[in-house]
Amino acid sequence: MTSRHQFDVPVFVVFHDEQERISSVADAMDFLHRWPLDRRGPIYRTAVNACAAVKAGRLRVDDGRRAFIGFARATNIFDRDMPGIEIRSRTVVSYPKGTL
Protein backbone atom coordinates (compact mmCIF):
# COMPACT_ATOMS: atom_id res chain seq x y z
CA MET A 1 0.00 0.00 0.00
CA THR A 2 1.44 3.33 -0.96
CA SER A 3 1.43 6.44 1.21
CA ARG A 4 -1.22 7.95 -1.04
CA HIS A 5 -3.69 5.60 0.67
CA GLN A 6 -2.78 6.89 4.15
CA PHE A 7 -5.46 8.77 6.10
CA ASP A 8 -4.63 12.37 6.99
CA VAL A 9 -6.01 11.70 10.48
CA PRO A 10 -6.26 8.14 11.82
CA VAL A 11 -9.58 6.64 12.86
CA PHE A 12 -9.74 4.93 16.25
CA VAL A 13 -12.15 2.09 16.94
CA VAL A 14 -12.78 -0.10 19.98
CA PHE A 15 -13.67 -3.72 19.26
CA HIS A 16 -13.67 -6.53 21.85
CA ASP A 17 -12.42 -4.00 24.44
CA GLU A 18 -9.30 -3.31 22.37
CA GLN A 19 -8.59 0.03 20.73
CA GLU A 20 -7.30 -0.09 17.16
CA ARG A 21 -5.75 2.72 15.14
CA ILE A 22 -6.85 2.68 11.50
CA SER A 23 -4.34 4.80 9.59
CA SER A 24 -4.88 3.77 5.98
CA VAL A 25 -7.17 2.11 3.48
CA ALA A 26 -5.15 -1.10 3.99
CA ASP A 27 -5.79 -0.93 7.76
CA ALA A 28 -9.49 -0.34 7.14
CA MET A 29 -9.72 -3.29 4.73
CA ASP A 30 -7.87 -5.53 7.17
CA PHE A 31 -10.25 -4.56 9.96
CA LEU A 32 -13.32 -5.02 7.75
CA HIS A 33 -12.16 -8.49 6.67
CA ARG A 34 -11.93 -9.48 10.34
CA TRP A 35 -15.47 -8.23 11.02
CA PRO A 36 -17.83 -11.07 12.10
CA LEU A 37 -19.69 -12.65 9.18
CA ASP A 38 -23.05 -12.50 10.97
CA ARG A 39 -22.69 -8.73 11.47
CA ARG A 40 -21.98 -7.83 7.84
CA GLY A 41 -24.77 -5.78 6.31
CA PRO A 42 -25.30 -2.92 3.86
CA ILE A 43 -23.19 -0.40 5.79
CA TYR A 44 -20.35 -2.91 6.01
CA ARG A 45 -20.56 -3.53 2.25
CA THR A 46 -20.57 0.21 1.59
CA ALA A 47 -17.34 0.62 3.57
CA VAL A 48 -15.69 -2.36 1.83
CA ASN A 49 -16.76 -1.12 -1.61
CA ALA A 50 -15.51 2.41 -0.87
CA CYS A 51 -12.11 1.14 0.28
CA ALA A 52 -11.84 -1.12 -2.78
CA ALA A 53 -12.72 1.86 -5.00
CA VAL A 54 -9.92 3.90 -3.38
CA LYS A 55 -7.43 1.11 -4.06
CA ALA A 56 -8.65 0.98 -7.68
CA GLY A 57 -8.29 4.75 -8.07
CA ARG A 58 -12.03 5.43 -8.42
CA LEU A 59 -12.47 7.29 -5.11
CA ARG A 60 -10.36 9.63 -3.03
CA VAL A 61 -8.74 8.37 0.18
CA ASP A 62 -10.91 10.78 2.18
CA ASP A 63 -14.06 9.18 0.72
CA GLY A 64 -12.90 5.76 1.87
CA ARG A 65 -12.08 7.15 5.30
CA ARG A 66 -15.52 8.73 5.60
CA ALA A 67 -17.17 5.44 4.60
CA PHE A 68 -15.15 3.61 7.26
CA ILE A 69 -16.11 6.22 9.88
CA GLY A 70 -19.77 5.79 8.90
CA PHE A 71 -19.43 2.05 9.40
CA ALA A 72 -17.67 2.56 12.75
CA ARG A 73 -20.36 4.94 13.98
CA ALA A 74 -23.22 2.71 12.80
CA THR A 75 -21.73 -0.30 14.57
CA ASN A 76 -20.90 1.67 17.74
CA ILE A 77 -17.17 0.95 17.60
CA PHE A 78 -16.05 4.52 16.78
CA ASP A 79 -13.85 5.80 19.63
CA ARG A 80 -15.16 9.28 20.32
CA ASP A 81 -12.96 9.71 23.40
CA MET A 82 -9.61 9.95 21.64
CA PRO A 83 -7.63 12.94 22.93
CA GLY A 84 -6.66 15.44 20.27
CA ILE A 85 -9.43 14.53 17.86
CA GLU A 86 -12.71 16.36 17.70
CA ILE A 87 -15.65 15.45 15.48
CA ARG A 88 -17.84 18.24 14.17
CA SER A 89 -20.53 16.98 11.79
CA ARG A 90 -18.31 15.06 9.38
CA THR A 91 -15.31 17.30 9.92
CA VAL A 92 -12.38 15.95 11.89
CA VAL A 93 -10.12 18.48 13.53
CA SER A 94 -6.83 17.25 15.00
CA TYR A 95 -4.99 19.25 17.61
CA PRO A 96 -1.25 18.95 18.33
CA LYS A 97 -0.50 17.01 21.49
CA GLY A 98 -0.47 19.18 24.58
CA THR A 99 -2.51 22.05 23.13
CA LEU A 100 -5.86 21.08 24.66
The three-class DSSP label of residue 31 is helix
Q: What does the pLDDT read at residue 98?
A: 53
Neighbours of 61 (CB within 10 A): 17
What tens digit of pLDDT does each residue of 47-60 get?
999 999 999 999 99
What tens digit of pLDDT does each residue of 61-93 get?
999 999 999 999 999 999 987 654 544 444 455
Q: How confident is the model at residue 1 (pLDDT cuts 50, 70, 90)?
A: very low
Work out the percent of the chain whose per-residue pLDDT is above 90: 75
Q: Are strands 6-15 and 91-94 parallel, antiparallel or unpaired?
A: unpaired
Q: What does the pLDDT read at residue 52?
A: 98
Residue 28 has pLDDT above 90, yes or no: yes
Q: How confident is the model at residue 95 (pLDDT cuts 50, 70, 90)?
A: low
Q: What does the pLDDT read at residue 56?
A: 97
